[in-house]
């Protein structure tokens, strides 16, 4: 059958493949709206990384999504309901943690955005462009000395 090293090697290979799939999913969803992208990423992480028990007597685990697919599509075992229950439990836990994270992050972001909206600019000149031109400001003159072109207004 399968000894302990083969079992660990199979899990290591699956873990690397699952992290690769998760990385691809992160790249595929980066264009989405944030509040749609993040729950989808949590869902795919749970689907890829959640184990379920296959043989309780020997403490053998397998990926829950693979067990569910094998049992439903090929009708090879009777572990589909256990795998679906494990997936549901892991989804519930992951989304609860995610909601706590969002509940903590939301007021911090609102505070940070409120802080960024009113920056204190000490070197900003309150004069308008017309006032600067009437007063002959040197910052405007240097711009056109280097051969800059002034387009007429129509």
Whether the full predicted model's pTM is greater than 0.85, yes or no, is no
Q: State the DSSP string of the chain.
A: ---HHHHHHHHHHHHHHHHHHHHHHHHHTTTS-HHHHHHHHHHHHHHHH-EEEEETTTTEEEEHHHHHHHHHHH---S-HHHHHHHHHHHHHHHHHHHHHHHHHHHHHHHHHHHHHHS---SS---S-HHHHHHTT-HHHHHHHHTS---PPP-
Domain boundaries, the chain: 4-117
What is the full per-residue pLDDT of the chain (154 aa) written as tens digits?
678 889 899 999 999 999 999 999 999 999 999 999 999 999 999 999 999 998 888 888 999 999 999 999 988 878 889 999 999 999 999 999 999 999 999 999 998 888 877 655 566 777 777 787 788 766 666 555 555 566 666 6
């Amino acid at each position: 059958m399968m000894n302990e090293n083969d079992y660990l090697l199979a899990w290591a290979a699956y873990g690397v493949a699952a992290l690769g799939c998760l990385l691809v999913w992160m790249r595929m969803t980066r264009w989405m709206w944030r509040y749609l992208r993040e729950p989808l990423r949590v869902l795919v992480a749970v689907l890829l990384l959640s184990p379920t028990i296959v043989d309780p007597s020997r403490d053998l685990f397998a990926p829950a999504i693979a067990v569910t697919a094998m049992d439903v599509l090929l009708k090879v075992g009777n572990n589909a309901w256990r795998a679906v229950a494990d997936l549901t439990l892991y989804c519930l836990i992951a989304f609860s943690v995610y909601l706590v994270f969002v509940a903590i992050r939301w007021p911090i972001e609102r505070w940070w955005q409120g802080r960024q909206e009113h920056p204190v600019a000490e070197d900003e000149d309150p004069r308008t462009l017309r006032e600067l031109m009437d007063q002959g400001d040197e910052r405007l003159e240097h711009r056109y000395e280097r051969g800059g072109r002034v387009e007429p207004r129509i």
